[in-house]
Amino acid sequence: MSNEARAFIGAGANLGEPVRQIRQAEEELRRSRGIKFLGASSLYRTQPVGPVEQPPFINAVFALEPEIGPHDLLSLLLEIEQNMGRVRGERWGPRVIDLDMLFFGEETIEEQGLEIPHPRLHERRFVLAPLAEIAPGFVHPVLQKSVSELLAGLSPGDFWVEKFQAESP
């Protein structure tokens, strides 16, 4: 899958019905113009990052072949979040849905509001585990390491990530 994919989107939720919300975000991307949806990782149940006490997250990664540019893709992700009820509040706080552009091909962008590759993805097991499932050989354009190498390089630490078997809808 990674040979075709140009963009990878991290999805996470821990409020409401996280599994349903991840699936809804996936469906919104599948229906979006200018997006060829290539696939999704399994769902992962993950420990929240940051100082805020909150429930575990459900995370996944989506692979896309966008016909639109990174700025338009970011606008689409923000629109989906807003339509699903995302209210931006406390940093690293709980959320109904979070959609982050992880990579857009080999592009590197560092602007106000848009950084590609995502600036902290190489430190986050909750992003790298599902990403390694669908694109283990994808090479980080700045760090020049594959996703599997980045995942293997993380210290075990205190943060847990586990595959999550959701009940069928």
Question: What are the tokens at 145?
Answer: 């390491």
Q: Where are the alpha helices (DSSP H) in 84-134?
A: 125-134
pLDDT 10s digits, 34-67: 999 999 999 999 888 766 778 999 999 999 999 9
Q: What is the pTM of this model?
A: 0.90
Are 6 and 139 in contact, with CB atoms under 8 Å apart? no
pLDDT 10s digits, 102-139: 999 999 999 998 999 999 999 999 999 999 999 999 99
Are 48 and 57 in contact, with CB atoms under 8 Å apart? yes
Q: How many CB atoms lie within 10 A of CB 63?
A: 23
Please give the positions annotated as active site.
Answer: 86, 95, 98, 100
7-163: what fold?
Alpha-Beta Plaits (3.30.70)
Of 114, 102, 113, 109, nearest to 150 by C-alpha is 102
